[in-house]
Structure 1
Amino acid sequence: MVLGKPQTDPTLEWFLSHCHIHKYPSKSTLIHQGEKAETLYYIVKGSVAVLIKDEEGKEMILSYLNQGDFIGELGLFEEGQERSAWVRAKTACEVAEISYKKFRQLIQVNPDILMRLSAQMARRLQVTSEKVGNLAFLDVTGRIAQTLLNLAKQPDAMT
């Protein structure tokens, strides 16, 4: 290994070579809740907020996703799905986009990228389980403290 030289990831480079790369300015919407799900996204640079809105337009942030995270994976497993949330750029972003159809073709050639997506989904399920546990077992002060600790772990957190 040469010091100072960034590590390359052949699987990721191969995957990205099959994607369309788009740039989004901060605060722009990448995904609209309710639209037909046909595309998988991968954050190359930047961070996004995943959020839902009620009928009055009030927003609730479900999570923040960062460089290296996939977005829009739910529709990959069930055709005809609609987007379940909005995704908005928190910072300027560079995002790789690939149709579900093309992604399915790629995983036939190289299943490693599917394993990466599956590992992320498993981590998200674990985080969701922890949040449910916190809602059930922590008081308000404990939940706020846990939320602040989790936010401080974000790559672009202010400390």
Structure 2
Amino acid sequence: MKKDTTHHDHSVESHKACVSLVPIFNHLEDGQLDEIMGTTHSVSYQKHELIYHAGDESNALYIVNKGKVRIYRLSESGKEQLVRILNPGDFTGEMALFSESTHETYAEAMVNTKICMINRLDLQEFLMKYPSISLKILAEFSHRLDASEKQSSRFATEKVDTRIALFLVDYLDKEISGTDELTLPMSKKDLASYLGTTPETISRKFNELEDRGYIKQLTHKQIRIVDLDGLLFV
């Protein structure tokens, strides 16, 4: 269950900012946003605090208002597998929209984080009233399924060097800076968990890619892609 260190924030401005930030809601009109806002409440979490555990009842949609959240699974042996990282505007807990269930993953605040929550019954009512929300959620499901299948395929068929190279290329594509530089969205420990390897291997492979002239490590997290074509064929 959630720790006692959480506290509730009922500021209207916070709710409005949170709801209007989310891609599944930001296409709605102001009156519709106000309606959703009225059912939303905010909860703040400290860095490293668990928002929910695997096995907890899943009965709400969690929207990141401020901060960053890591979603991960634990294997039977206790090994962690990072699923994804949520930034402001991202959400989790969407399976609660369709049935009563329990969480299969863990959600942890990576920094001090503020979450907006909408309970399942309220959200189901909005889905019936505003079908466009359902379409937006289905689009996000499709995106996550595609990412999950791509990740599983790479685990099964690609060596670690290739997984790292493809991650860098994919992430560079998502950057809107228009440059050949990117900032890693997570620590090397989390990147290792996401790519199915160890932090030591990540550091070693980054150094190897740099020695081979494919990348330049500018800081601990900032990387310049020197040879994009070469990186594609690692």
Fold match (TM-score > 0.5): yes
Q: Say how many residue pairs are matched.
A: 152
Structure number, greater radius of gyration: 2
- Segments of structure 2 that go 5 or more residues without pairing to the other structure are 1-19, 21-25, 176-182, 186-220, 223-234
**In 1, distance between residues paired with 2:157 and 2:85?**
23
Counterpart Cα distance in 2 of 1:60 and 1:88? 13
Structure 1 residue 75, shift from structure 2 partner: 2.7
RMSD: 2.7
Aligned equivalent of 1:22: 43
Deviation per CA, 1:37-64: give whole Å up to 9, x if none: 1111111222111111234544221211
SS of 1:91's equivalent in the other structure is coil
Q: 1:137 to 1:68 in 2, by over 3 A?
A: same
From 118, 127, 131, the counterpart of 1:98: 118
For 1:3, the equivalent position in structure 2 comes to: none
Alignment of structure 1 residues 44-83 onto 2, 5 Å: 44-55=65-76, 57-79=78-100, 81-83=101-103
Alignment-mate amino acid for residue 136 of structure 2 = R
Q: Describe the SS at the equivalent of 1:87.
A: strand
Q: Contact (CA 8 Å) 1:49, 1:61: kept in 2 or not? A: yes
Q: CA deviation at 1:96?
A: 1.0
CA distance in 1, matches of 2:70, 2:114: 14
Structure 1 residues 46 and 151: alpha-carbon distance in aligned structure 2, compared to 1, 3 A threshold: farther
1:109 is aligned, of 121, 129, 137, to: 129
Matched-pair contact (CA < 8 Å) for 1:30–1:87: yes
| 140 and 20 in structure 1: CA distance in 2 versus 1, 3 angstrom threshold | same
Shift of the alpha carbon at 1:18?
2.2
Post-superposition CA distance 1:87-124 (Å, at most 9, x none): 00112222111111111111222223222222211110
- In structure 1, how many angstroms separate the alpha carbons of the residues matched to 2:119 and 2:59? 6
CA distance in 2, matches of 1:135, 1:58: 15
Q: Aligned ranges for residues 28-39 of structure 1 at < 5 Å?
A: 28-39=49-60
Q: Deviation of residue 22 (structure 1)?
A: 1.4
SS at match of 2:58: coil
1:20 alignment partner AA: H
Amino acid paired to 2:73: I
Unaligned segments of structure 1, at least 5 residues: 1-7
